[in-house]
Structure 1
Amino acid sequence: MRIHPRAVDGLTALVATAVAALLGAEAAARGWPPPDPAAWTLVALANLSLAVRGRAPLGVFLFVHLCWIAYVALGHWPVVGAPAAMVALYTVAATRSARTAAVCAVLLGGTWVCAGVAGGSGAFGARASLVGQGVGCPLVLWRFGQVARRAAELTVRLRAEQAERARREVAGERVRIARELHDVIAHHMAVITIQAGLARFVLDTDTRTARQALTTVGAAGGEALAELRRMLGLLRAEGAEGVGGTGGTCGLREGGPATEPAPGLDRLEELVERVRAGGVHVGVRIRGASRPLPPGVQLCVYRVVQEALTNVLKHAPGARADVELVYRTDELAVSVTDDGGNRARTAGTGGHGLIGMRERAKLYDGTIAVGPRREGGFGVHLTLPTPPPEQAARRGGAVTE
């Protein structure tokens, strides 16, 4: 759990106040006058002001030093005010430029030496030690503060770079998905063109065939419009613009057989066979009554299963994997699990693959869970809403005409 910076500042102020109180109580034993009410007030003001050091580090540093100088001027033990001054200097060094922190370090060292000399340290050894402390302590605090400042700047820069890289990966994955949706739309357009030509050809001689062809055109057109909206939604998403650098076509694939549909559930067994050839034993189980599904949904399932099995090949060689499809009334549940094989596997399944699975699930209003299993191995669980069986059957029958 991360503690709020203001809470840290408040705790620092309380600890510094407690340390100053203990040192003040030791003043008499060190041969100095015990602090009077005015001295205790200065000590409290100097140390409690550290509670706002994060918001005004330079102002707090100057205020602490003014209180410290006044405390020494009253003839009290200078060491009592040193902890607050040291914390204030470190705060300036950790949040301000090296030049500003160096000036503050000189001020601290000068105050330290002058306070010691004014206190009557007469022996040469004591004066040399005093000068060494007045130079060494501020220098160490300045150095530590500068290191902390640079580390904080690097952390902020690293987080910004990671966020930018994640944004680019999401945008790139969205464009890649949009390319595949483009193929789905191209398939629908080919079906519409063929069926419209058929309806026009038999309109006067075979009314039933013409009606079925027009039904096919309507179903395919509706699916194409839905997929087009999804594709445009992806390309309009924040950060997707400009990724791929392909100009006005938004990176959509050109050339190739426009009428060839994107991979769907009919090619799932072919995918499984390729994975088996790579050394992974894969079992496939289908529960419920299978029914025709929109090509976009089939493409989503195919790609998620493909990515999950690819991760098994890469991260758990020799493992056993199971692919399960469960057809329910209004949804399709897909699970790809493995037993881990002979090698421990972590949750990191790769940046693009995990992003792609999540984006595809979100595109079709589905849910996906990816992570280690309690019994060992790894699991990917996808749930997608699907049309009711009656609607899917009518649509599937129309498209296959």
Structure 2
Amino acid sequence: MRTGGLRRHNVPVLIEDAPPGWRHLMREALRRDRKTRWPGPRVLLIETLGVLLLTVAAIARGTHASLGEQSVVSSPLAPPPAFDPSAPFCPSQFDVPSMPVPLEARDYLLLVLTTLPLAARRRYPLAVYWVVLVAAVSAQAYTGFATSVGLVVAAWSAIRYSPNLPSALGSFLLGALVAASGQGATPGLPVDPTRPAVWINLGALVVGAVHYYRRAVRENARRLAELEREQAEATARALEEERARIAAELHDVVTHNVGMMVIQAGAGRRVLDSSPEQTREALLAVEAAGRAAMAELRHVMGLLAASASGEAAAGGEPELEPQPGLDQLEHLVARVRAAGLPVELALALPAEPLPAGADLTAYRVVQEALTNVMKHAVGASATVSVAPDGDFLEIEVVNTAGTPGPQAATGGGRGLLGMRERLALYGGELDARRRIGGGYLVKARLRWRAG
């Protein structure tokens, strides 16, 4: 739609865009091929010399015909012979004596146009074809082999270099009709479908159709290969995302539970001789953390090996368990307290059940935050608060100042990155920073209900 120039009561009138006219279609069909590059200097020189030789041969053939082979019928000095309708058609009616008729400037121009435009056949293939065809048909009374060669080259160039091959095929069909009718040729000649230009156009039509079919097959094969490549890339991206998700799960499981086991084992080693009872409690805590780690690892591995029906791939009974959520947050805090980190928990859940993904994300955020406290702030205390805020869930983990533990140097920032990625899936955000008075603050916000 476009705004026209007509206005009524100062309101612009919308006029639909008119369909493209014949001028636009002609320009589109005859436009130059911008994809074809000019050949090298050597090839260009050879082609130019060939075009010049064809031009000289065409002029020489036309001059020779004008000296002794030009028909009296073509001469403007003699009227065409009378045609007797009562007599049966016989080509001998047009067999008249020959006489020399010199060529005029127009005739030489037509002979030049049958070959010389081939120099631009790569950039303007269809336009060159029509110029050569019209010139050859108009001068066919005194043309010869060179003109036929020029028309063949022009037709092949239209097939090879035309950006619109269906237009070239239509041009060949129309060109065959023009050549058969003899438009522009010697007046008085009947329709002759055996002229060389007719056979050249029909041959070009067949060759062009085969070329168009083969090009369509290649294009379909290219598109199929491109679709397969895009599918392979999409599969690779999905695998990468799945690997990242699995890595995040394994990181959360292993880091938290193994970290607690290391801390409890170290505490038990220190009191091994002086306090066997505390050593026993530390070993029990190590055992409990190990069992929890094994259970969660079995769950993660079960997700990888599970079939579409939810059963284990090996054919045994399914060992899948529900993913951890905020309902198990008290058990997590109890294990952390048993590891020696004082934790206060303030948990308030929405009245509606949380989606499984949001529930798991909130649990992992708290788990990772407490794991970082045990690694980087030994001797500190922590406070965990979880509360709904409309469609969002507010999570805050704050710890006091402490000293870095032996495991502080093993972190690579993967935990915070994993938390940000998990929260981003639910339109959440993470704020993790040091506190001015000492300690660290982890504040997360995620959407648990669609707005």
Query: TM-score range, shorter-chain basis?
Result: 0.3 to 0.5
Structure with greater proportional helix content:
1
Which structure has the higher relative contact order (CA within 8 Å, separation 6+)? 1
TM-score by length of 1: 0.40
Structure number with larger C-alpha Rg: 2
